Structure 1
Amino acid sequence: MTSSQPLRIAALGTHSTGKTTLLKRIEMELRGHGLTVARTGQFGRRAAAAGLPKMQRHTVQSTEWIIAQGIVDEINAAVQGADVVLIDRAAHDAIAYFEAAMAFRSETPPRLERERLLALACTQLPKYDLLFATVLDDTMPVDTSHNYDANFRRLVDEGVHRLLANDVIPHQRVTSDPDSQAHAVDVAVQLCLQEETV
């Protein structure tokens, strides 16, 4: 690619809605076209390893850590010369999880802290060349090795799409339908290949 900055393609959505699978498919296609691809992710696991709460126990601190770690990972990928950075959990994803956790616990987010976290997440939006938002499909089976709470998954899904709508954030919805996922992969690949020829 001729650009000094990598293309950034991000995904967000509640757990087990196909974000990681979608980004893996995009990565395989791009690598097949000779592009260098880096992928961020596994923030929940890494947060837990750092001693931070996750899922229904998210806090202001864990949310800020996830957003900040995502920023660091993106910068590292750019510095290492990736043509494309695939972001598994865009910054607003962390906000949706935080708000869902607070609602799940019947707590009210501190207004100033929520505004500060949202402002931090919003600083990342101009860097995304393409943003995918997965849509929860309750009929799709989930990994039974995880103890997922169905209500919490719905709260996150609702929060993701509410944030995107409220802030009028350009994005493409991706459902569990194979045609929707194939279209998303095609859109991402075509964008990257167009940029490569510029």
Structure 2
Amino acid sequence: MNSFQSIRIGVIGTHSTGKTTLLKRIEMELRGHGLTVARTGRLGKRAAEAGLPKMQNHTEQSTERIITQGITDEISALALGAEVVLADRASYDALAYWFAALEFRGDTAPRLERERLLTLAATQLPKYDLLFATVLDETVPVDTSHDYDPRYRRLVDQHAHRLLIDDNIPHQRVTSDPDSQAHAVEVTVRHCLKEALV
């Protein structure tokens, strides 16, 4: 493969909608074509390990931590030579979780904090060559070891898609249908291989 500008691919969506599985499939396909791939992730879990609240208890601080950790991870992956970076939870994902948490609790965000975090997340969007948004399908069973609040899960899904639509952000929706997921993999591989040949 010829040297080419590194590619960043992001995914957002509510929990247990196949984000990580999709990126694993993409990673395997790209590696099979000889590309060096890095996949970021576990942002919420790492924030919780640092003592910050998660899920419906998200705050401005946990949201900022997740966004900035994602930025740091992507930069580190590029510095280590990744040709393709797969961002499990692109910047708007943290906003969707926070806005959903606020609605779930009946709270409102301070205007300046809301604007500041929206700006921070928005600065990252131009970096992504492709952005996928998974779609909640409540008929698909979830891992019973996780204690998910179904209302909060729906709110995250609604806020994730609303953010992308309201801000007119180019993205591809990915449903639980195998054909939809296969299409996302195909689009990614085609894009990356095209860039690799430039």
Find the aligned partners of 1:71 and 1:90 in 2 and give their Cα distance. 9
Find the aligned partners of 2:144 and 2:42 in 1 and give their Cα distance. 18
Find the aligned partners of 2:109 and 2:192 in 1 and give their Cα distance. 39
Number of positions where the alignment pairs a residue of Structure 1 with one of Structure 2: 197
How far has the Cα of 1:111 moved from its partner? 1.2
RMSD: 0.6
Unaligned runs of 5+ in 2: none
Aligned twin of 1:150: 150
How far has the Cα of 1:144 moved from its partner? 0.4
Find the aligned partners of 2:48 and 2:149 in 1 and give their Cα distance. 18
Find the aligned partners of 2:110 and 2:17 in 1 and give their Cα distance. 29
Find the aligned partners of 1:39 and 1:54 in 2 and give their Cα distance. 22
How far has the Cα of 1:113 moved from its partner? 0.3
Aligned twin of 1:23: 23
Which residue identity lines up with residue 92 of structure 1 in the other structure?
Answer: Y
Find the aligned partners of 1:100 and 1:111 in 2 and give their Cα distance. 16
Which residue identity lines up with residue 56 of structure 2 in the other structure?
Answer: Q
How far has the Cα of 1:107 moved from its partner? 0.5
Find the aligned partners of 1:95 and 1:2 in 2 and give their Cα distance. 34
Provide Cα deviations, 1:6-52, integer angstroms capped at 9, x if missing partner. Answer: 10010000000000000000000000011000011001110011111
Aligned twin of 2:88: 88
SS in 2 for 1:53: coil
Find the aligned partners of 1:6 and 1:57 in 2 and give their Cα distance. 35
SS in 2 for 1:82: coil
Aligned twin of 2:171: 171
The answer to whether structure 1 residue 190 and structure 2 residue 190 are counterparts is: yes
SS in 2 for 1:17: coil
How far has the Cα of 1:2 moved from its partner? 1.9
Aligned twin of 1:70: 70
TM-score if structure 2 supplies the norm length?
0.98
Sequence identity (%): 73
Aligned twin of 2:3: 2
SS in 2 for 1:10: strand
Find the aligned partners of 1:73 and 1:107 in 2 and give their Cα distance. 31
The answer to whether structure 1 residue 129 and structure 2 residue 129 are counterparts is: yes
Find the aligned partners of 2:122 and 2:132 in 1 and give their Cα distance. 16
